[in-house]
Amino acid sequence: MTCRSRQSPSFDRLARLEAELEQAKTKLLSAHEFADDLREELDQREDQVRSCDIEIARLSKGLRKASADAARWQGSADDWMRQVGQLQATLESANRTLRVMWPAEVETPDKIKEWAAETFGEETLRDLVKKLLIEIAELDRSLYRPGGEPTKGLADVLIVLCRIMSVWPELGAAIDRKMALNRIRLWERGTDGAWKHVPEVAA
């Protein structure tokens, strides 16, 4: 009996050690499982990082392409703007030409006289006659020039004549008297092709 009582504490201690050992094994197993979980999570993180790197590389490539496209589109836009500007200038030039060729209003002698008065101010008959002779000479040259077009020269002559009427009001009445005389005259074509009135025979 005495011997069993001495051994009892040893058995108890051994039992406690075995229990602690089992607890330690359990904790170690838990630590291994925790480590495995951490390793698995780390692998997942690494996969995510690699996926992010791939996505960043893809986005960077897309950004470079977008930048190149933007630069190309900017160049195209500049070209389009230049073409639009050229087209606008062409349209404005055509519009000016159309206004000259087909004015909104038909010109009349009175309108021409008003324009001349506003543009040139007071003019003398001597100055206008000089201008008329210049325009007549230009008209005469256009008649003999190859491919010459007398229409513009005729228009210039008539415009100057309208300006003369504005500074010589008696011209209208003189034209009436002259036409009344011309209507009763006899006319014949001369050797130069020009029409001339037949001289009146004195009674």
Domain boundaries, the chain: 109-186
Q: Which CATH number fits domain 109-186: 1.10.3470, 1.10.20, 1.10.287, 1.20.120?
A: 1.10.287
Instruction: Give the residue from 107, 117, 108, 106 showing the smallest Cα distance to 164.
Output: 117
Task: Confirm if 28 and 36 have CB atoms less than 8 A apart.
Answer: no
Residue 88 has a pLDDT of 77
Q: How far apart are CA 60 and CA 165, in angstroms?
A: 82
With a cut of 60, say whether residue 119 has pLDDT above it.
Answer: yes
Using CA atoms, how far residue 107 sits from 3, 20, 114, 158, 190, in Å, is 151, 124, 11, 11, 35
pTM of the model: 0.45
With a cut of 60, say whether residue 2 has pLDDT above it.
Answer: no
Residue 5 has a pLDDT of 47
